[in-house]
Amino acid sequence: MIRFRNRRSIFELFFWNTGAAQKPINLRGIANVRPDLIGKELDEFLNGKARGLSRITAICEALPKIENRIELTSEKDEFGFPLVCINHTFDQGAVGLWSAALDEGVEIAKGAGAKEIWPGAPQHLLGGTIMGTSASNSVVNSYGQTHELVNLYVAGCGIFPTESSVNPTFTLNALRCAAPNNSQRTGAASQVESGEGNRPGRR
């Protein structure tokens, strides 16, 4: 179900993802519904809730912010390359959308008869090596080719300027296919760096 927070705008959308299978383990597992619990309390929580628990997830759009960026730091890795620092904050619109989605999610859960509700935290940032028209406003062009190095392509989620209201898996695949095609067209040797999830690309 896709919802519009502001019907006058094509932005500020969110999408409900419901009924996902859940395991007790892993990042989005049942044990991490209450990451603060340990010991006997965690054991009681898992034994008491595992059979009656469901998760609903709001995937919220956010608009690009020029202030969100990746910077090189003075710290070096074991190969002598500088490490990166991620600077990211949500703007008021994104926070408002998330709050509205949370309120609606709580309403839905209560309507379904939930006895207890545990809100989660935002995940999955995109960006870092974003697509644009020049090096002054972005890192790569529409093919994922870096503006400053013609033989370097980026084909991960880093080229999206921000997160959308749906997971961009298929778009990402299309872009991944476009990168080597363009490389062949232009004759440039390419190094394709691929990735998924919330791993901003490195320059």
Partner 1 sequence: MDQIERRAFMKGAGLGALAFTVGGAEILLTPSEARAQGVPFRLLNANEGETIEALGETLVPSARKAGIAHFIDHQISVPAEEALLQARIFNVRPPFANFYRAAIGAVDRGSEKVTGRKFAALSTTDQRDFVNNMRQSKIEGWTGPSGGFVYTILRSDAVDVVYGTMEGYAALGIPYQAHIVPTKRW
Is there binding between residue 35 and partner 1 (CB under 8 A)?
Answer: yes
Selection from 55, 45, 87, 54 nearest residue 70 by Cα? 87
Is there binding between residue 121 and partner 1 (CB under 8 A)?
Answer: no
Report how many residues bind partner 1 under the rule CB under 8 A: 22
Strands 69-76 and 56-60: unpaired
Is there binding between residue 75 and partner 1 (CB under 8 A)?
Answer: no
Helix (H) or strand (E) holding 174: helix 169-186
Is there binding between residue 23 and partner 1 (CB under 8 A)?
Answer: yes
Find the part of the chain contacting partner 1 (CB under 8 A) among 10-18, 31-39, 93-101, 175-183.
31-39
Amino acid identity at 91:
D
Is there binding between residue 46 and partner 1 (CB under 8 A)?
Answer: yes
Sequence-ordered list of residues with C-beta below 8 angstroms from that of 130, at least 6 positions apart, any chain: 64, 138, 139, 140, 158, 159, 160, 161
Which value, to the nearest 10 degrees, does the dihedral of the CA atoms of residues 136, 137, 143, 144 take? 90
Report the nearest approach of partner 1 to the CB of residue 23 (Å): 8
Find the part of the chain contacting partner 1 (CB under 8 A) among 39-47, 88-96, 126-134, 178-186.
39-47
Residues lying near partner 1 in the complex (CB under 8 A) are found at: 21, 23-27, 29, 31-32, 35-36, 38-40, 42-43, 46-47, 50-51, 77, 199
